[in-house]
């Protein structure tokens, strides 16, 4: 069976979803299918196909598309629309039996194009984040404003047009149901890490990580994007409450719109216990999380309903304590806490985060009991095979 994988990104740039896409492609080939990828060519310095995909025989069409600045919401949206229009001529000639479509802020325009040109081809829509609700929860758009109503209507068309929808947490499924999506269409499959096995923290090391985090201090680590939805500011607020704990040190790895703002805020608070570092390559993530004494996963208020950081599975696989500052009402956070005893706080509760860090610091148990749930719910081979099965199925 011929699968068209229509991406909203270009693989020529580093992306946290590359290992997910690669595993899905490999699972499809294991079942005897072939994959053609329709993607952006945005001037990145990476090859258009990762080595594993190229080795399998995956083919690709790359559509040249300039990138708008991250802070330019209108510019990015218009660029995404332009990309869809450019893809149209290729969609007229490409032949395929099934469609897999990645998350996109213009998904409704994409599905309208697909339904016009390929009405009878089953379509699976992978919802990794829910737009424009994420913009509402991050206070960049007002609920029920005209822009919200228009953009929401466009996205809802994608949900109607899709034959199957795969999302990545029970909280996000609940959000989709509130938007009127047919429950029978929705499957929840957690994102996975880079391998099926958990990591041994004693053996998962890197000279780069060791150099950046030397010594025997208690290492509190946040690694990821530094933007509006991540609420990394709470990490600084927690660090400010722990100035008198000389052995506890905070390490923030990442880039994004708000990094400079946070660095200025750290100077303002005179936080000698905080270090900022650039984002490390994805292959160093396991070593980084294994080096941490506790890994932080913060999100802005209510964002857990529209997204789940892709690093969650890797943090879990590294068997180190985790603090989820994403919201006490999150079904995902509670389920993970029940299985692993990881700490859960509300998104803006810096005091709660500080208490949770101190609890881990003072505890004799320095690892996370996450091996069982990782094997049950976050395995790469199992979850990617589930994707392949849904993508290749008939309608209904």
Q: Express each pLDDT in 129-176 by its tens digit.
A: 999 999 999 988 999 899 999 999 999 999 999 999 999 999 999 999
Q: In the predicted model, what is the mean pLDDT of the chain?
A: 94
- The mean per-residue pLDDT over the stretch 34-61 comes to 94
Buried b (16+ CB within 10 A) or exposed e, 128-147: bbbbbbbbbbbeebeeeeee
Confidence band for 372, pLDDT divided at 50, 70 and 90: confident
Give the per-residue pLDDT at 212: 97
- Predicted local distance difference test score (pLDDT) of residue 198: 94
- DSSP H helices, the chain, are 18-30, 51-56, 73-93, 107-117, 133-137, 146-161, 170-178, 207-212, 233-240, 259-268, 285-291, 312-317, 331-340, 350-362, 371-377, 380-392
Question: What average pLDDT does this structure show over 176-198?
Answer: 97
- Which range has the worst mean pLDDT, 111-115, 192-196, 289-293, 365-369? 365-369
pLDDT in tens, 209-240: 999 999 999 999 999 999 888 999 999 999 99
Chain centroid, CA 3 distance in Å: 23
Q: Render pLDDT for 241-278 as a digit per residue (tens, 0 to 9).
A: 999 999 999 999 999 888 999 999 999 999 999 999 99
The percent of residues in the chain predicted with pLDDT above 90, rounded, is 85
Q: How confident is the model at residue 396 (pLDDT cuts 50, 70, 90)?
A: low
The predicted pLDDT at position 290 comes to 96
Q: Is the dihedral of CA 368, 374, 375, 380 positive or negative?
A: negative
191 pLDDT higher than 70: yes
DSSP assignments along 241-277, one per residue: TTTT-TTEEEEEE--STTHHHHHHHHHHTT-TTEEEE
What pLDDT sits at residue 370? Answer: 78
DSSP state letter for 67: P
- Whether residue 72 has pLDDT greater than 80: no
């Amino acid at each position: 069976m011929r699968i068209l994988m229509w991406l909203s990104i270009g693989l020529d740039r580093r992306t946290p979803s590359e290992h997910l896409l690669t595993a899905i492609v490999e699972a499809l080939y294991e079942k005897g299918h072939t994959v053609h990828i329709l993607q952006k060519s945005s001037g990145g310095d990476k090859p258009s196909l990762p080595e594993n995909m190229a080795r399998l025989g995956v083919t690709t069409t790359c559509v040249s598309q300039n990138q708008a600045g991250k802070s330019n919401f209108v510019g990015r949206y218009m660029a995404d629309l332009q990309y869809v229009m450019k893809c149209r001529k290729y969609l007229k000639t490409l032949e395929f039996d099934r469609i897999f479509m990645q998350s996109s802020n213009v998904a409704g325009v994409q599905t309208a194009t697909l339904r016009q040109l390929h009405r009878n081809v089953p379509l699976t829509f992978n919802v990794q984040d829910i737009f424009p609700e994420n913009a509402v929860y991050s206070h960049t758009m007002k609920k029920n404003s005209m822009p919200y109503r228009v953009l929401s209507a466009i996205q809802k068309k994608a949900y109607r047009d899709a034959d199957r929808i795969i999302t990545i947490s029970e909280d996000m499924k609940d959000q989709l149901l509130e938007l009127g999506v047919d429950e029978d269409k929705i499957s929840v499959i957690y994102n996975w890490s880079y391998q099926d096995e958990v990591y041994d923290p004693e053996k998962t090391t890197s000279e780069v990580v060791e150099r950046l985090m030397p010594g025997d201090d208690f290492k509190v680590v946040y690694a990821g994007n530094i933007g509006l939805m991540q609420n990394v500011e709470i990490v600084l607020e927690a660090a400010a409450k722990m100035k008198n704990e000389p052995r506890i040190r905070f390490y923030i790895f990442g880039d994004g719109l708000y990094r400079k703002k946070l660095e200025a805020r750290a100077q303002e608070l005179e936080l000698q216990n905080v270090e900022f570092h650039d984002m490390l390559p994805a292959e160093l993530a396991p070593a980084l999380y294994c080096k941490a004494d506790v890994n932080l996963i913060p999100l802005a208020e209510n964002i857990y309903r529209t997204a789940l950081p892709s690093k969650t599975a890797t943090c879990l696989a590294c068997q180190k304590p985790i603090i989820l500052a994403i919201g006490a009402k999150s079904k995902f956070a509670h389920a993970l806490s029940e299985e692993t005893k990881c700490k859960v706080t509300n998104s803006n509760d810096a005091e709660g985060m500080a208490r949770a860090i101190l609890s881990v610091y003072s505890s004799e148990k320095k690892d996370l009991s996450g091996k069982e749930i990782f094997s049950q719910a976050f395995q790469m081979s199992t979850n990617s095979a589930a994707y392949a099965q849904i993508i290749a199925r008939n309608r209904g």
